[in-house]
Amino acid sequence: MDGHRRLWCNAGMPAATDVDAAAAPAFSPLYRQIKALLTQALQAGDWKPGEVIPSEAELAQRFKVSQGTVRKAIDELATDNLLVRRQGRGTFVATHAETQVQYRFLRLVSDDGSADRLERRFLDCRRLRAQAEVARELGLRSGDAVVQIRRLLSLRERPVVLDELWLPGAAFKGLTAERLAQWRGPLYRLFESEFGVHMVRAEEKIRAVAADADAAALLGRAQGAPLLSVERVAYTYGDRPVELRRGLYDTTTHHYRNELS
């Protein structure tokens, strides 16, 4: 049956056996092999964020499989937020310019349920040598170049999040404090449009901590006041870590919301 036979592709396209064994082993269902090939194309930049991908019929012809197999692969990529279906228009590469995508990693919600826009103020942006812990999280070597960003996020003019970010220096050459200050859109959209880095998933660790003197002063809290510490590693295509973020959240009037499924 189509869902289990070996995949052979047109000239110029990799066969299933060329796909990384971890992503598409020999016994993998055919639609998962197609998913792996499409993910490779996204990773290679064949289709840019916001661009439409070929139709299911075109992809089915290219990969020599049924249209249903392609549809199942695209369905999974849409569930993974890598692609976005638009009724009557086609399937597009997800972009952080879209509201449903740009706020996918934002979990701070006002206790009264209001949807306020976060205002940001960048405190610092500099290039450093990665300490061992940061290097390990980003898959770098100790001493490799990283970009460190510190910023303060406010709701209704009240500081609620103190963020510290580390980015691989090689992937973010040219990122400066001036460029950050000029940017008006979502930060991940900047990473995507100007540095070709698209965040597709993230892992987080959360714990309660006491505010140190610096965090207390910036967040307007007493030293030792309870804060929520959120450490996030964000990944791009191929499960490559491209951002380490450590945020301190004041949840006095807000809460951290997760949806589990």
CB atoms within 10 A of CB 54: 17
pLDDT at 22: 44
Phi then psi for residue 124, to 5 deg, are: -165, 150
pLDDT at 98: 55
pLDDT at 116: 67
d(CA 168, CA 173) in angstroms, rounded, equals 9
Rounded to two decimals, the pTM is 0.73
pLDDT at 7: 47
The class that CATH gives domain 99-256 is alpha beta
CB atoms within 10 A of CB 53: 19
Averages of pLDDT over runs of 10 residues in the chain (261 residues) are 44 42 60 90 84 92 93 89 86 72 58 74 95 96 97 90 96 94 88 89 93 97 96 92 96 77 50
Reduced to 3 states, what is the DSSP secondary structure of residue 223? Answer: coil
CA angle in degrees (0–180, nearest 5) for 21-36-231: 90
Domain residue limits, the chain: 16-93, 99-256
pLDDT at 199: 87
pLDDT at 26: 53
Query: What percent of the chain is helix, strand and coil (3-state, nearest 5)?
Result: 30, 30, 40
d(CA 201, CA 210) in angstroms, rounded, equals 28
Q: What is the arrangement of strands in the sheet containing 240-249, beginning at the earlier edge strand?
A: 119-129, 145-155, 158-168, 240-249, 226-236, 201-210
pLDDT at 244: 97
Q: CATH assignment of 16-93?
A: 1.10.10.10
CA dihedral 231, 81, 183, 227 (to 10 degrees): -20
pLDDT at 114: 66
